[in-house]
Structure formats: C-alpha cells, structure tokens
Structure 1
Amino acid sequence: MEKLHFDVQIKAEAIKVWSVLWDDFSFRQWTSALTEGSFYQGNLQEGAIIKFLDPKNNGMYSKITKLVPNEEIIFQHLGEIYEGVETPRDLGEATERYVLTEDENITHLEVEIQTAEELKSFFEEKFPDALSNVKHLSENQL
C-alpha cells in the first residue's frame, strides 16, 4: 500500500471548497482530470456507501468512515464496479481522506490517498490537476 499526500492553498472559505468538492455539478468538473465523465452516487453521510463511477458504470464503491461537514471526510474503498456490478475486493487500507482547514478566507486542502502500488503513478500524474481544478472552481465560481 502506498500513501500519497497532496495539498493546495485556496483563496476561498472552507464551506465553498467543500461545496466544490462534493456538489454534483462541480464534482464532475474537478474529477474530469482523473476520469472524464466521472460522478458519484449516494448520500454524503457517515456510514453510507458511495459509488464512484465513469460513464460506463465502472468504478469503485466505498464507505464513508468519517464525516465532519466542511472539515473532513474519509472514504474506505471496499471494491470495484464493472458495468454496474459491485465486486468486493480486499483492498486493505485503501482510503481517501480530505481535510480542510481555514485561516482568514484561505483554505488549506490536504488529501491523503492510500492506494495499491500499481495506481501510485496514476494519482501522482492526475491528482495535482484535479486539485488545480478544485482551486480554480473554488476561487472563481459565484
């Protein structure tokens, strides 16, 4: 398991950055840097199962193990989805953790991803662009 860290400073309040991260329309925009057309299904509630999908209904499903609105969310990845069918996999400690801290209208967004070694280069290449999208949307959307 590889642990990756990404962060960005955003000139916007944490509530705005949180909204960009998890509102459907903006989620689709910033995650296009990872997979074009990606979206999620489910409710952002602690203990809920969320499906992260591409336009062909492929992706992964995860459990929200911690949720503090506008501050922190942790996803525990449980398995993969192929053509809409969930396939449980032992993904070990595969997680994504998003932490927002605000200081005088500047939000520091930290993302920690624990992933399989074979996905490390994908995240290292794509995730900085995704965070750049979050920054742009947060600073420029009304």
Structure 2
Amino acid sequence: MNKISHSIIIKARPEVIWETIIDPIKYVKWTYVFTEGSYFEGGWNEGDSIHFLVETEEDKLEGMAAEIAEIRYPEFISIRQIGYVSDGLVDTTSDSVKEWAPAYENYTLNLIDEHHTKFTVDVETQDEYTEMFDDVWPKALELLKDISEATQDKPMKITIKTTIPKPLEAVWKCFTIDDHITKWNFASDEWHCPKAVNNLKEGDIFDYIMASKDGKASFHFQGKYTKIVPHKQISYVLDDKREVDIYFNEKNGEVEVEETFEAESTHSYIEQRQGWQAILDNFGNYVKENL
C-alpha cells in the first residue's frame, strides 16, 4: 500500500468545507473527477456504514464499501475502506479485498485564520492506483475549494435524504395531512408535535407546534408555501425568510424524499443537519411502520 497526501488553502471556515464534503448534492459536484455520477449512501457519524457508488450503463451499482472510523467536527474525518460493491453486492471477505483492506482516507481541516482553512487529504491506496489518485485528487480539491468559497458568502444550504419502501401516494399523504404530521414531526422521544395545521396550497400557511414532553419548552414552526407540485415538490419560506425545498422521487417501488433548507446562525451546521435528518428519519420510520 502507498500513502499519498495533498493539501489546499480554502477561503472558508472549516464548518463550510465540512458541509461541502458531506452534503449529498455538493458531494456529487466535487467528486465527479473520480467517476462521473458518483454519490454516497449512508451516514457521516462515527461508526456509520457508508458506500461510495456509481450506477453503470447497465444499471448496476459499483463502488466502495466503507465505514466512518473517526469524526471530530469540524476538524477531522477518517474513512475506513473495507471492501467493494459489485452489482449492488458488498464484498468484504474475498482474497482480493483482504490484500488491501482496511485502507484509510483521512480529511484534516486546520483553521488558519478567521477566513482561511487548510484542507489536507491523506489516502492509503494500492500501487496500481497511486498515479491516478496523485493526478485526480488535486483536481477534486480545486472543486472543493470553488464550491466552498462560493458558499461562504451565501446562505448555507443543507440537503438531507431518506428512502422509504412505500408507494408515493402513501408517503405524500403522511407528509402532508395534519393527523399524520403530529405522529412523526419531532427529532427525539423527549419531544412531540401536539398540533399541526397544514393548509397545503401555494400562498397559504402551515403551523406546527413543537414541544418538549416535560412541558418546559415549545415553539411554533411556521411558514408559507411558495410552490406545490402534487406528489413531486413542496417549497416554502419560513417566518425568518429561510427557504426550504422538498422533492419526492419514486423509483423501483421506493420513494426518495430530499429536503434542502437554508441554515440559521444560532446553531452549528452539524446540529441543524442532525436535527432535520432525525425528523426526516422519524417520518420514514412512521410511514414504514404504519402504512
């Protein structure tokens, strides 16, 4: 195994670069130089399984199987490569995998000053891929730099997803009807949604009450709808003017729900991503268990 290392100075804070790395939409943009159309499935929390994939012309999934070995937000990500994905099947035990696995890909983000970060990638790779990675990684880092710097001066947009093995009509119904919303619209068991008023029409409003079960905290999650395409898209603007877009994509008997929201400035990006993702995952579990 060989080790390669590349660095770049980016005019953005580590939190912004971190989001560029793990956001599913931005990820596709900065990694296409490795394989066009590449994407990931899985999580970016320590211990999570994650697959880096591409869909071939024959509609087969190929790529790498990995897990998140270590996370220190927003300073360090260690990815442990553990096998191949071939035709959608994961191989972590064959002799060809054992020759190199595990192999590590590490990202280090060092804050230089208030506006600049040094990003370094360290990669363990087989001999036959060393020259290719030495050529491609600098190109990927330039894209990472461009995307992060373009984001730095704009509202941060964060994208989250979940996939639900249920019909689109059922998913849409659970996402939009008041009685269903109160059953899933909270991030943890300590919270609930005692009331939801949802007027699903362009120009109309929604108002969800979010409350802790101990009665010590509550707030209204409110907004106005700007675009509704039945069974395809919901867009709205929150009371604080932040914009949210939600897309429903049906494929092979499953529905992918994708939400993109503008971040606020009170909580860290990682806290907001985790909170919104927890609610979306709660929604997915509710649909799977009840319909």
Structure-1-length-normalised TM-score: 0.96
Cα offset for 1:10?
A: 0.2
Amino acid across the alignment from 1:75: I
8 Å CA contact 1:93, 1:114 repeated in 2: no
Where relative contact order (Cα < 8 A, 6+ residues apart) is larger, the structure is 1
Large movers: runs of 4+ above 6 Å: none
* Count of residue correspondences: 142
Measured after TM superposition, the shift of residue 93 of structure 1 is 4.3
Does the CA-based 8 Å contact 1:99-1:109 persist in structure 2?
yes
CA–CA distance in 1 between the matches of 2:23 and 2:47?
A: 19
Could you tell me which of 136, 143, 147 is aligned with 1:137?
Answer: 147
Take 2:19 and 2:8, find their aligned partners in 1: how far apart are those partners? 16
Q: Does 1:115 pair with 2:119? A: no
Name the residue aligned to 2:6. Answer: 6
CA RMSD of aligned residues (A): 1.0
Q: Does 1:53 find its partner at 2:63?
A: no
Distance 2:23 2:51 in 1: 15
Matched with 1:101 is 110
- CA displacement at 1:61 relative to structure 2: 0.7
In the other structure, the counterpart of 1:84 is 88
Q: 1:66: Cα distance to partner?
A: 0.4
C-alpha offsets along residues 54-105 of structure 1, whole Å, 9 cap, x if unaligned? 1231000111110112111111111001111111122244110000011221
SS in 2 for 1:73: strand
Match for 2:16: what amino acid? Answer: K
- Whether the aligned pair in 1 keeps the contact of 2:83 and 2:101 (CA below 8 Å) is no
SS at match of 2:36: coil
Q: Which runs of 5+ in 2 are unaligned?
A: 155-291
Q: Check whether the contact 1:63–1:77 (CA below 8 A) recurs between aligned residues.
A: yes
When the two structures are superposed, what TM-score results if normalisation uses the length of structure 2?
A: 0.48
Q: Distance in 2 between matches of 1:93 and 1:35?
A: 22
- Higher Cα Rg, which structure: 2
Question: 1:94, 1:116 within 8 Å by CA — same for their partners in 2?
Answer: no
1:49 Cα deviation from its structure 2 partner: 1.0
Q: Percent identity?
A: 29
Q: 2:172 is matched with which residue?
A: none
Q: Could you tell me whether the CA contact under 8 Å between 1:20 and 1:134 is conserved in 2?
A: yes
Equivalent residue for 1:70? Answer: 74
The one-letter amino acid of 1:31's match is T
